[in-house]
Chains A and B, each alone.
Chain A
């Protein structure tokens, strides 16, 4: 729902409805789907958003996050095409139009 704002107080970017796209790859995609459009509230950080989406599938969540809710250390997280250190994902505030990609590297040969 678009929030009603008074004409004298034009809405800031943060107050607008946000749409963010989250893409999962490979095994994460099998468990959680992909190209998920989310509408997080303003000030939401990247890790929280991904956690919330992943919670819908227990196995999917466990594949990406450890028991403390942190990204597993081998998981690759991209934010608008740029790599985000998983340790910084809890501080990265997302904005409207952002695209997040979560990818599990593979190791077989």
Chain B
């Protein structure tokens, strides 16, 4: 049940989703991998929208050079752990939700455990090796992965539903090269809010998800585009040969 305060707080979006939709958000648990450029707007918007439980993971310390885009952190946080800074800001934005911030590196040995019983994973990472781990966990647990990535004024996003859409390894079998990528805060702002919108729609069962499509944003041209993406039957992660043994039965939908 929503409290009086919650009914007031979420009044304007209850006009959109109904009280029922808001209840669904309250019961939801989202896992956000990364509290950086993408993770900041994603966590902020999901917190203020009232997603009941947010787990956010990051291993880094706030650096001065992060502040042009990582809007969860401010000058006074430089030198502090991103998790400490993140939990403070998010709890301040919305005291009615539960936030866990975990200061660790996501690896092959701990990914499943960190995600735990979350209902979905948001990819707010800055590298493909970790993204592939999140993808494998999403497939194993049969929960969605909300992918986003950026560089400069360009970005991409897609929503992965195990068994129904291509997985990250189907779409990107090979990782783009590693680099210190140029970035300005508005780009993770655009892509992060696309990802957060997807999370809300998924939990509320509203609209049409960004599934089987790769959304491409070109900020330089102010142009958005989408390309159709398909499952790879021979995918080493989600292909036919690999799904039956490794994937758990579908979790009951909210």
Stretch at the interface among A10-18, A41-49, A76-84: A76-84
- Which size class do A's interface residues fall under? 20 to 34
Is A26 at the interface (CB under 8 A from chain B)?
yes
Contact residues of A between 52 and 109, Cβ < 8 Å to B? 73-74, 76, 78, 81-83, 101, 103-109
Q: For the complex, what is the distance from the CA of A74 to the CA of B168, rounded to whole Å?
A: 13
Is B125 at the interface (CB under 8 A from chain A)?
yes
Is A29 at the interface (CB under 8 A from chain B)?
yes
In the complex, chain A residues whose CB is within 8 Å of the CB of B179: 107
Q: For the complex, what is the distance from the CA of A108 to the CA of B155, rounded to whole Å?
A: 9
In the complex, chain B residues whose CB is within 8 Å of the CB of A81: 227-228
In the complex, chain B residues whose CB is within 8 Å of the CB of A30: 220
In the complex, chain A residues whose CB is within 8 Å of the CB of B146: none
| Known contacts A74-B177, A82-B228; A109 and B39 CB within 8 A of each other | yes
In the complex, chain B residues whose CB is within 8 Å of the CB of A26: 151, 154, 216, 218
| Known contacts A25-B216, A25-B218; A108 and B183 CB within 8 A of each other | yes
- State whether A74 touches B150 (Cβ < 8 A): no
- State whether A108 touches B156 (Cβ < 8 A): no
- Which size class do B's interface residues fall under? 35 or more
- State whether A78 touches B149 (Cβ < 8 A): no
Is B119 at the interface (CB under 8 A from chain A)?
no
Q: For the complex, what is the distance from the CA of A106 to the CA of B128, rounded to whole Å?
A: 9
Closest to B127 in A: A107
In the complex, chain B residues whose CB is within 8 Å of the CB of A103: 216, 227
Q: For the complex, what is the distance from the CA of A106 to the CA of B172, rounded to whole Å?
A: 10
Q: For the complex, what is the distance from the CA of A29 to the CA of B220, rounded to whole Å?
A: 10
- State whether B216 touches A107 (Cβ < 8 A): no
- State whether B227 touches A101 (Cβ < 8 A): yes
In the complex, chain B residues whose CB is within 8 Å of the CB of A101: 227
In the complex, chain B residues whose CB is within 8 Å of the CB of A109: 34, 36-39, 123-127, 148-150, 188
- State whether B172 touches A105 (Cβ < 8 A): yes
In the complex, chain A residues whose CB is within 8 Å of the CB of B125: 109
Q: For the complex, what is the distance from the CA of A26 to the CA of B187, rounded to whole Å?
A: 13
Contact residues of A between 19 and 46, Cβ < 8 Å to B? 25-27, 29-30
- State whether A107 touches B149 (Cβ < 8 A): yes
Listed A/B pairs (6) with beta-carbon separation below 8 Å:
A105-B156, A106-B149, A107-B128, A107-B177, A107-B181, A109-B126
Further contacts, 8 of them, CB under 8 A, given A78-B227, A109-B127: A74-B172, A76-B227, A103-B216, A107-B175, A108-B126, A108-B149, A108-B151, A109-B123
Q: Which residues on B are within 8 Å of A, measured CB to CB? A: 34, 36-39, 123-128, 148-152, 154-156, 172-179, 181, 183, 188, 216, 218, 220-221, 225, 227-230
